[in-house]
């Protein structure tokens, strides 16, 4: 038996029907808002992205001083903390004077604590004949066990751009000297192209026999005292945007002690020892390009070595590329930059 709908039933049914389109409309509006937000995010990312700037450091000083640094996240003593060092160097980059900031992130702490950051530092005792800076990156740590360590990751930006609109800086021709690795401690430098030790070094090194760029561990086998150039290593980088420096304790007798580690971003000199460099080698060779005279002999050296570009004994050669093995062919100015030499004078076509 059918039941006739009352006026109330019809009203309820009409109400349900009227609500259904409204729900669909809300879904469409929500989807439209999501699409709008996604579109905004895409636009925002594309607007904030900036191409990296390349700066030739020329193996000269980069200066750090925690006294004038800015804490971006934390104070550098906990994992994830980031400290910004402003104006660590100023160079002409792409024809434009550019000041560089360095961001140092405490990227790991394993059974170790950061005790203190040194300020106005030169306490690691470089030989005075080569001490051209008091601005080392120097940190004190304490480890609870052998192997305990702290990792610091360095990245570089155009001054004033980080963190709001960061412009990354790619550095060329950089040296970083790990100072005073002694008292059964160790240091690890990542992605280096070559490293230099004193010929009578008291450090051991290990990079698993691999090629370069390499991550290399430098260790002190015994308590060596302090302030001795035999306990340092200089890492050279042909190009560098980011790298890691690990500092740690290599012997249980040092557990719980405050130990001192540092990086001087320059070559501090080696007298009276003789430096010995291991790493990627490049060959500087010459092409007479059909000219007369004696072609200079090829010279092979590692990244960071200083080479003098020879002149020929005949007419001025034409501007042909010269070879830098193993990476291929480069113009004279490119090789000069890689070996920290002034470019050759502009050459003319031979007649």
List pLDDT tens digits, range 223-244: 656 678 899 999 999 999 899 9
Contact 144, 111 (CB under 8 A): yes
Q: What is the pLDDT of residues 260-269, one digit of tens each?
A: 899 999 988 8
What the block records as the tokens of 256 is 């719980």
Contact 323, 344 (CB under 8 A): no
Number of Cβ atoms within 10 Å of the Cβ of 304: 27
pTM (2 d.p.): 0.70
**Tens-digit pLDDT string for the chain (351 aa):** 434 444 444 444 444 444 444 444 444 434 343 333 333 333 333 334 467 799 999 988 899 988 889 999 999 999 999 999 999 999 999 899 999 999 999 999 999 999 999 887 543 333 333 444 458 899 999 999 999 999 999 999 999 999 999 999 999 999 999 988 987 889 999 999 999 999 999 999 998 777 899 999 999 876 656 678 899 999 999 999 899 999 999 888 888 888 889 999 998 889 899 999 998 777 777 787 777 778 888 777 777 666 677 776 655 544 444 333 344 333 333 333 333 333 344 443 333
SS3 state of residue 266: coil
Label residue 198 exposed, middle or buried (CB < 10 Å: 0-12, 13-18, 19+). Answer: buried
Contact 180, 263 (CB under 8 A): no
CA distance 132 to 186: 25
3-state percent breakdown (helix, strand, coil) of the chain, nearest 5: 15, 40, 45
Return the DSSP state at 159. T
CA distance 129 to 135: 16
Sign of the torsion angle spanned by Cα atoms 261, 267, 271, 277: positive
CA distance 281 to 116: 38
Residue of 50, 155, 169 lying closest to 103 (CA atoms): 155
- Alpha helices, H only, the chain: 7-48, 332-338
Q: What is the pLDDT of residues 302-350, one digit of tens each?
A: 776 666 777 766 555 444 443 333 443 333 333 333 333 333 444 433 3
CA distance 222 to 230: 13
Contact 189, 265 (CB under 8 A): no
pLDDT of residue 201: 93
CA distance 285 to 53: 30
Q: How many residues does the chain have?
A: 351
Contact 236, 174 (CB under 8 A): yes
What the block records as the tokens of 246 is 């690990």
Q: Could you identify the residue written with the tokens 């070595």?
A: 305
């Amino acid at each position: 038996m059918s039941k006739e709908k009352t006026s109330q039933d019809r009203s309820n049914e009409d109400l349900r029907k009227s609500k259904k389109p409204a729900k669909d409309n809300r879904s469409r509006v929500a989807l439209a808002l999501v699409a709008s937000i996604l579109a905004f995010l895409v636009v925002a990312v594309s607007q904030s992205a900036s191409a990296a700037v390349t700066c030739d450091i020329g193996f000269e000083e980069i200066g750090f001083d925690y006294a004038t640094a800015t804490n971006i996240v934390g104070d550098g003593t906990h994992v994830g903390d980031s400290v910004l060092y402003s104006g660590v160097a100023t160079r002409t980059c792409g024809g434009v004077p550019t000041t560089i900031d360095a961001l140092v992130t405490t990227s790991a702490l394993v059974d170790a604590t950061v005790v203190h950051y040194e300020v106005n530092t030169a306490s690691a005792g470089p030989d005075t004949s080569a001490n051209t800076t008091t601005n080392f990156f120097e940190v004190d740590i304490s480890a609870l066990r052998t192997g305990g360590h702290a990792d610091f990751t360095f990245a570089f930006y155009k001054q004033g751009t980080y963190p709001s609109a960061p412009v990354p800086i790619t550095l060329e021709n950089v040296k970083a000297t790990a100072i005073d690795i002694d008292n059964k401690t160790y240091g690890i430098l990542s992605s280096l192209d070559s490293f230099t030790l004193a010929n009578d070094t008291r450090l051991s090194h290990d990079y698993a026999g691999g090629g370069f760029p390499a991550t290399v561990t430098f260790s002190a086998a015994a308590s060596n005292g302090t302030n001795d150039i035999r306990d340092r290593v200089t890492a050279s980088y042909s190009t560098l945007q980011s790298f890691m420096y690990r500092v740690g304790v290599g012997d249980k007798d040092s557990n719980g002690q405050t130990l001192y580690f540092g990086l001087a971003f320059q070559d501090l000199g080696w007298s009276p020892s003789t430096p010995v460099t291991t790493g990627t080698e490049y060959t500087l060779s010459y092409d007479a390009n059909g000219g007369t005279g004696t072609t200079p002999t090829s010279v092979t050296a590692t990244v960071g070595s200083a080479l003098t570009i020879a002149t020929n004994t005949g007419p001025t050669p034409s501007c042909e590329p010269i070879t830098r093995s193993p990476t291929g062919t480069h113009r004279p100015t490119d090789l000069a930059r890689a070996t920290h030499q002034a470019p050759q004078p502009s050459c003319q076509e031979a007649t």
